[in-house]
Amino acid sequence: MLDLASLTELLDQPRKIVITTHHKPDGDAMGSSLGLYNYLIQQGHHAKVIAPTDYPDFLSWMPGNEEVIIYTENTKLSATLIADAEIIFCLDFNSLSRINEMGVLVGESPAYKVMIDHHLEPEDFDDYRHWDINACAAAQLVYTFIVDQLQHKELINKDVATCLYTGIMTDSASFRLPNTTSTVHRIAADLIDAGANNSRIHELIYSSSSENRLRFLGHCLANCLEILPEYNTAIIAVSKKDIARFDVNTGDTEGIVNYALSIGSVHLAAFIVERSDRVKLSLRSKAEFPANEICKKYFQGGGHRNAAGGQSEDTLEATVTKFKQILSEYKTLLNY
Ligand SMILES: [Mn+2]
């Protein structure tokens, strides 16, 4: 691993830079990427954000969004940019498998790779690393990278601030998760001072549902929610048929699991959805319960303690049954 000080030197001159993030980007993935992008272009760098896949409309308003390249829609251009890059920033992920086929291209590129991330157990593909699992968002680490490492607080302009605020807000579940420290609030305050309109950002992210999405949410809560009182656990299981019936789009399922977790007695919530090729699980937990452990051990996934994801090649019914059986192993931990 190289010293970040030499990266600071590298960035003294305009460079060809690619910024990428994990597939199916969320608010932190796009917020951290575009935050860094809006910083780098002020320094005269030739920077491009390449997202491995598309992302929902409620994330498509951030400054610089119109310049984002979607890999699956522009494979040739993306491959050229990655091969020609001098520096590739890898934000909000730490394993090349998280960027699908792009992982091979990034791995083969002669560019310096910079990991800015807050997930557990980073893979060893990077040359530079700004990594902290205690950070609530990759956007928080982009902030500290710009301010503490590069000493460019004055370059946190309105565009940078808007993107970074969005990343921090979404990944901390609106400043609610246990990793929302006083430092995070101070950074958020700095970003507001730099021009981020916090109220407007909340509105753009959380109050931009489509009618379909809201009706789908209603269906999930009324018809698909199951509570297991002995495990303080709630499950929302959704079939392919439901997805088709409500014309559910990318991002429409995001956050639904949090409604299940909002029940006072629920310590663990699972959103289990049947997709075309596999079943996906999204887990959220309160306090110390390790949602990521279940995903890692049983569902080829992982994540953070309070927010994790996984998948299964079984049917929806079989996956739900397996999940319920696993809960007995965690009964004591769930009954705190
Ligand atoms: Mn993140």
- CATH number assigned to the domain comprising residue 227: 3.10.310.30
Q: How confident is the model at residue 239 (pLDDT cuts 50, 70, 90)?
A: very high
Q: How many Cα atoms are found within 13 Å in the side-chain-facing hemisphere of 147?
A: 17
Q: What is the pLDDT of residue 114?
A: 98
Ligand 1 center–CA 180 separation, angstroms: 13
Q: How confident is the model at residue 190 (pLDDT cuts 50, 70, 90)?
A: very high
Q: What is the pLDDT of residue 326?
A: 98
Same domain? 39 vs 167: yes
> Residue range 237-265: average pLDDT?
93
> Residue range 293-311: average pLDDT?
95
Same domain? 183 vs 218: no
Ligand 1 center–CA 295 separation, angstroms: 17
> Residue range 256-282: average pLDDT?
96
Q: How confident is the model at residue 251 (pLDDT cuts 50, 70, 90)?
A: confident
Q: What is the pLDDT of residue 51?
A: 98
Same domain? 199 vs 219: no
Same domain? 165 vs 230: no
Ligand 1 center–CA 242 separation, angstroms: 29
Ligand 1 center–CA 315 separation, angstroms: 29
Ligand 1 center–CA 228 separation, angstroms: 29
Ligand 1 center–CA 252 separation, angstroms: 19
Spatial CA neighbour of 61 closest among 172, 162, 142? 162
Ligand 1 center–CA 179 separation, angstroms: 12
The residue range of the domain holding 94 is 4-206
Ligand 1 center–CA 135 separation, angstroms: 9
Q: What is the pLDDT of residue 210?
A: 87
Question: Residue by residue, what is the 3-state secondary structure of 134-198?
Answer: CCCCHHHHHHHHHHHHCCCHHHCCHHHHHHHHHHHHHHCCCCCCCCCCHHHHHHHHHHHHCCCCH
Same domain? 194 vs 262: no
Residue at which a domain ends, from 206, 228, 247: 206
Ligand 1 center–CA 171 separation, angstroms: 6
Residue pLDDT, tens place only, 110-163: 999 999 999 989 999 999 999 999 999 999 999 999 999 999 999 999 999 999
Ligand 1 center–CA 28 separation, angstroms: 5
**CA-only gyration radius of the chain, Å:** 20
Ligand 1 center–CA 32 separation, angstroms: 8
Q: What is the pLDDT of residue 285?
A: 96
DSSP 53-108: S---GGGTTSTTGGGPEEGGG-HHHHHHHHHH-SEEEEES--SGGGGTTHHHHHHH
Same domain? 180 vs 46: yes
Residue at which a domain ends, from 206, 225, 255: 206
Residue 316 CA, distance from chain mean position: 24
Ligand 1 center–CA 140 separation, angstroms: 9
Ligand 1 center–CA 304 separation, angstroms: 9
Mean pLDDT of the chain, nearest integer: 96
> Residue range 219-240: average pLDDT?
98
Q: How many Cα atoms are found within 13 Å in the side-chain-facing hemisphere of 230?
A: 6
Ligand 1 center–CA 55 separation, angstroms: 15
Same domain? 198 vs 238: no
Same domain? 199 vs 228: no
Same domain? 202 vs 220: no
Same domain? 158 vs 17: yes
Ligand 1 center–CA 138 separation, angstroms: 5
Q: How confident is the model at residue 208 (pLDDT cuts 50, 70, 90)?
A: confident
Ligand 1 center–CA 247 separation, angstroms: 27
- CATH number assigned to the domain comprising residue 193: 3.90.1640.10
Query: Which pTM does this prediction carry?
Result: 0.86
For the ranges 11-25, 56-70, 240-254, the lowest mean pLDDT is seen at 240-254
Q: How confident is the model at residue 264 (pLDDT cuts 50, 70, 90)?
A: very high
Same domain? 30 vs 155: yes
Same domain? 178 vs 232: no
Q: What is the pLDDT of residue 258?
A: 94
Ligand 1 center–CA 164 separation, angstroms: 11
Residue at which a domain ends, from 206, 237, 253: 206
What total of structural domains would you count in the chain?
Answer: 2
